[in-house]
């Protein structure tokens, strides 16, 4: 890509009161200072192109710039056909998810300063889901999983009164912005075929536990998480928690409590006997 000539324009001219070599040196020094560039190495490709092709684009570096700014600069100035999905640019809609420098990130929340800008910064689509085009992936599998979660079932046996502390856990889970970065990083999903295994993934353990934790909910989702949701396959590596931009403690506050309750409910021999005798699930 050609560098934008405007961005290279020096901040002072040789006629600004300086002459000879010193003026020239100062101009050159300021050009170096003001015209910093970063190379974005973007993985591009058409639908279902798994490996894609890497293309380099140079972008003028501005203070506070995030990866999405740089990608949109590429789209505006160098590659008008570059496909990228975003909406809010405020880390709220979850649509600008991609892998930057090999890690799942929201592009609108990731500053370029986090990286060594003297080297190309790699930007590629989420690797767990099929590519639609360039940086846009098809995450519809997640919506199919979502439909399997038993919805909120309000209790009818008590008044709707509770303390804030009773809904703290439920509210934490509802901070999810459905960016699917946790689904992207989870190895149980990542290394499976496109029609994923019987495994819901961290985003949907969060959703199920958020509903379960509400004091006015009456549904039991533990069996669903155990059998169809495959929560036993999670080996609590905590990778999902590390990438969650909403700061949800996915493993400590959703997955581990769910696993403990499943063990209590379905693997305790006395409870198992009780269920056999009473015919309950
Ligand atoms: S902790 Fe479990 S759900 Fe989270 S990334 Fe690891 S295996 Fe996946
Ligand atoms: S739990 Fe966190 S990482 Fe996973 S989809 Fe929700 S906000 Fe994104
Ligand atoms: S654009 Fe909405 S989260 Fe990044």
Give the per-residue SS3 of the chain: CCCCHHHHCCCCCCCCCCCHHHHHHHHHHHHHHHCCEEEEEEEECCCCCCCCEEEEEEEECCCCCEHHHHHHHHHHHCCCCCCCCCCCCCCCCCCCEEEECCEEEECCCCEHHHCCCCCCEEEECCCCCCEEECCEECCHHHHHHHCCCCCCCECCCCCCCCCHHHHHHHHHHCCCCCCCHHHHHCHHHHCCCCCCCCCCCHHHHHHHHHHHCCCCECCCCHHHHHHCCCHHHCCCCCHHHHHCCCCCCHHHHHHHHHHHHHHHHHHCHHHHHHHHHHCCC
Distance from Cα 161 to the centre of ligand 1, integer Å: 35
- Output the pLDDT for position 1: 42
- Output the pLDDT for position 5: 36
Distance from Cα 162 to the centre of ligand 3, integer Å: 34
Protein residue with its CA nearest to atom 7 in ligand 2: 176
For residue 94, the ligand closest to its alpha carbon is: 3
Distances (CA, A) of 113 to 70, 109, 152, 186, 242: 12, 12, 42, 26, 20
Q: Is 112 close to ligand 2, i.e. is its CB under 6 Å away?
A: no
Q: Is 206 close to ligand 2, i.e. is its CB under 6 Å away?
A: yes
Tell which one of 203, 208, 245, 253 to mutate to probe ligand 2, the residue whose CB is within 8 A of the most ligand atoms.
Answer: 203
Ramachandran angles phi, psi of 4, nearest 5°: -70, 115
The token duo for 47 is: 């639908």
- Output the pLDDT for position 243: 98
Distance from Cα 211 to the centre of ligand 1, integer Å: 20
Residue 10's nearest CA partner among 25, 28, 23 is 28
Q: Does domain 140-278 have CATH number 1.10.3720.10?
A: no
Protein residue with its CA nearest to atom 4 in ligand 1: 240
- Output the pLDDT for position 19: 53
- Output the pLDDT for position 191: 85
The token duo for 35 is: 């015209």
Residue ranges around ligand 3 (CB below 6 Å): 86-89, 91-96, 106, 108
Distance from Cα 74 to the centre of ligand 3, integer Å: 18
Protein residue with its CA nearest to atom 2 in ligand 2: 244
Topology classification of domain 36-137: Ubiquitin-like (UB roll) (3.10.20)
Per the CB < 8 A criterion, the answer to whether 61 and 68 are in contact is no
- Output the pLDDT for position 194: 55
- Output the pLDDT for position 10: 32
Q: What angle do CA 139, 239, 200 make, to 5 degrees?
A: 45
Tell which one of 105, 137, 250 to mutate to probe ligand 2, the residue whose CB is within 8 A of the most ligand atoms.
Answer: 250
Per the CB < 8 A criterion, the answer to whether 146 and 137 are in contact is no
Distance from Cα 238 to the centre of ligand 1, integer Å: 6
Separation of alpha carbons 166 and 68, rounded Å: 38
- Output the pLDDT for position 151: 97
Q: Which atom of ligand 3 is nearest to the CA of 109?
A: 4
Per the CB < 8 A criterion, the answer to whether 100 and 121 are in contact is yes
The DSSP bridge pattern shows strands 121-124 and 97-100 to be antiparallel
Q: Which atom of ligand 3 is nearest to the CA of 97?
A: 4
- Output the pLDDT for position 279: 66
pLDDT, tens digit only, all 281 positions of the chain: 434 433 333 333 333 444 545 655 554 444 444 459 999 999 999 998 999 999 999 999 999 999 999 999 999 999 999 999 999 999 999 999 999 999 999 999 999 999 999 999 999 999 999 999 999 999 999 999 999 999 999 999 999 999 999 999 999 999 999 999 999 999 999 987 655 668 999 999 999 999 999 999 999 999 999 999 999 999 999 999 999 999 999 999 999 999 999 998 887 777 777 766 776 65
Protein residue with its CA nearest to atom 3 in ligand 1: 202
Domain boundaries, the chain: 36-137, 140-278
- Output the pLDDT for position 65: 97
């Amino acid at each position: 890509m050609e560098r934008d000539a405007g961005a290279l324009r020096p901040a002072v001219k040789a006629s600004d009161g300086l002459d000879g070599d010193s003026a020239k040196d100062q101009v050159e020094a300021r050009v170096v200072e003001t015209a910093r560039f970063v190379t974005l190495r973007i993985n591009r490709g058409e639908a279902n192109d798994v490996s894609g092709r890497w293309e380099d684009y140079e972008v003028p570096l501005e203070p506070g710039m995030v990866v999405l700014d740089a990608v949109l600069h590429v789209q505006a100035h160098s590659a008008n056909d570059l496909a990228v999905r975003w909406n809010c640019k405020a880390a709220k809609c979850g649509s600008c998810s991609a892998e930057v420098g090999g890690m799942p990130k929201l592009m609108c929340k990731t500053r370029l300063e986090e990286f060594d800008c003297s080297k190309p910064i790699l930007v590629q689509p989420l690797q767990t889901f099929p590519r639609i085009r360039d940086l846009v992936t098809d995450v519809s599998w997640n919506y199919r999983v979502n439909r399997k979660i038993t919805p909120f079932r309000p209790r009818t046996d008590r008044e709707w009164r509770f303390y804030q502390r009773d809904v703290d856990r439920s509210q934490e889970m509802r901070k999810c912005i459905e960016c699917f970065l946790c689904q992207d990083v989870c190895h149980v999903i990542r290394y499976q075929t496109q029609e994923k295994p019987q495994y819901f993934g961290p985003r949907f353990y969060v959703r199920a536990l958020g509903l379960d934790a509400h004091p006015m909910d009456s549904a039991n989702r533990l069996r669903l998480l155990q059998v169809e949701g495959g929560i036993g396959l999670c080996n609590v590596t905590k990778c999902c928690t590390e990438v969650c931009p909403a700061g949800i403690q996915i493993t400590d506050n959703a997955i581990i409590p769910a696993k403990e309750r499943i063990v209590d409910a379905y693997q305790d021999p006395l409870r198992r006997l009780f269920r056999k005798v009473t015919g309950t699930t």
